[in-house]
Amino acid sequence: MSSVSIVLGLWLGLAAPAGKSASGKTAAAPAQPGPLQRVSELATTAQSRYETADFAGAIELWTQAYDLLPDAPEYISQRSVLAYQIAQACVEAYAIDPKLAYLRKAEKLYSGYLQSVDAQDAETVADIEGRLKDIRAKIADVDRLEAERLERERQEAERRNAAAEEAKKPDPAIEKARLAELAARRQAAERDAKRWHKISVAGGVTLGLGASMLVVMGVGLGRGAKIDDQGDEAIAGGMPDSNELQDLLGKGVTANRLAIATGILGGVLTITGAALVGTGVVRERRARKNLSLAPIWLPGGAGVHFAARF
């Protein structure tokens, strides 16, 4: 069944419907105006589009012609022919632009056309069934390829998700290095705390020694003052013995000098000890409590986080 013979048959059926003359003989009726004439024009233009490989245009025009045909029993054959032509154009269109919609439309139209074919017309039935078999095989291939594509996309998405989850897990080597770094920092902080504790203790000892020397200075100054008082009393009581007076004077000078030296040394030691105690306590407290330095290890990189309390 060729396209040209089908369309020519359609034209003849539309342009010259059968009629009877008064003598009972079949006579040709004049061309039908209105929708039927438009159907014939559309069918002719669609055939030209088909023959020039404008299959999408042929499908559109044959579809318009199909829609214009009256839905009456006497036009069933013409509607079936148009459906056949549209199906054939869909198959050809798919060869140029492989859209699955073309194949599905062709399958539906060929199936409908097959229902209108006389079962006794074995050649036509075999032809349409062969076309349907070929179309359904192509549809199955397209569906299979689409299912495979979707499955690949699903598997790829699962791989990406698994990789993302794996990336969130800490690398054992990095985690080990992080813990080692934290341990080293804790040890360093502990060493600093102990060192500054020792310094504060030494400062306390120095401060205590300085305070003791200041006490000795006070005692020395009191001793010197007492000797001076004894000399004054000896002078007030009359002419003292010269040697005794010189002895008292020497003792007073010695006591005063010792008191002054002890006081200077005690003051230095006191200031130094106080400074050591203050610095040691502050630094020890900072090393133990007030300063935290910990590395933050992230997948793909590392950083350092400083946190301090004031």
How does residue 221 score in pLDDT terms, banded at 50, 70 and 90?
Answer: confident
For residue range 264-298, list pLDDT tens digits in order: 887 887 898 788 878 877 877 777 775 555 444 44
| Residues 41, 38: Cα–Cα separation, whole Å | 5
Choose between 252 and 302: higher pLDDT.
252
CB within 8 Å of 204: residues ≥ 6 apart: 273, 276, 277
Residue 19: the pLDDT is: 40
Contacts within 8 Å (CB) and 24+ apart, 23-32: none
**Closest by CA position to 199, among listed 267, 284, 265:** 284
| Residues 68, 268: Cα–Cα separation, whole Å | 120
**Closest by CA position to 84, among listed 41, 60, 58, 113:** 113
